[in-house]
Amino acid sequence: MREPLLRILKANSLIELPVYESAGASGMDIRAFLDTDVIISPAGRVKIPTGLKFEIPDGYEGQVRPRSGLAVKYGLTVLNSPGTIDSDYRGELEIILVNLGQGDVTVKNGDRIAQLVIAPVCRARIEETQSLTETIRGSAGFGSSGI
């Protein structure tokens, strides 16, 4: 499979482009672009700018995901995870961070705050129907397939 071309526009020449931090990394690290430090209190949420705009190819999406190290060390995660960047969006990527930890968390300019995965998208054809095929699970809800 050929790699899709991801075009990126930086708001400032000092901003670092996203980077895959290892040879097997699925996601590239995204950094904060801040004039001043941002403090996120416990249970607080903040929209953090990145200074980046993306041109994601048709047939793909960007998935914004938390960084596991921030989650385990500080309780910091991406609120709407995974966040979706549609291929036709051209605005700045901003990351909604939430502090699920016990203490304040300070985000500084250049901190790695999330990761971005570029993934193929399959769009469904929609058909209205009067019935659905039966399955063993049926309409049983949350937890019905086991714990």
Residue 51's closest CA among 89, 5, 78, 16?
16
22 backbone dihedrals φ, ψ, rounded to 5°: -145, 165
For residue 91, what are the CA distances in angstroms to 2, 18, 67? 26, 16, 23
* Structural domain contains residue 19: yes
Q: Is 78 within the bounds of a domain?
A: yes
pLDDT per position as a tens digit, 84-125: 999 999 999 999 999 999 999 999 999 999 999 999 999 999
Q: Is residue 64 in some structural domain?
A: yes
Asked if the structure places residue 36 within a domain, the reply is: yes
The whole-model pTM stands at 0.88
Per-residue pLDDT of 3-16, as tens digits, reads 999 999 999 999 99
Number of domains in the chain: 1
DSSP-assigned letter for residue 19: B
The pLDDT of residue 144 is above 80: no
Cβ burial of 56 (10 Å; 0-12, 13-18, 19+) is buried
Task: Determine, yes or no, domain membership for 105.
Answer: yes
CATH number of the domain residue 63 falls in: 2.70.40.10
In a domain, 146, yes or no: no
Domain of residue 58: give its range. 7-120
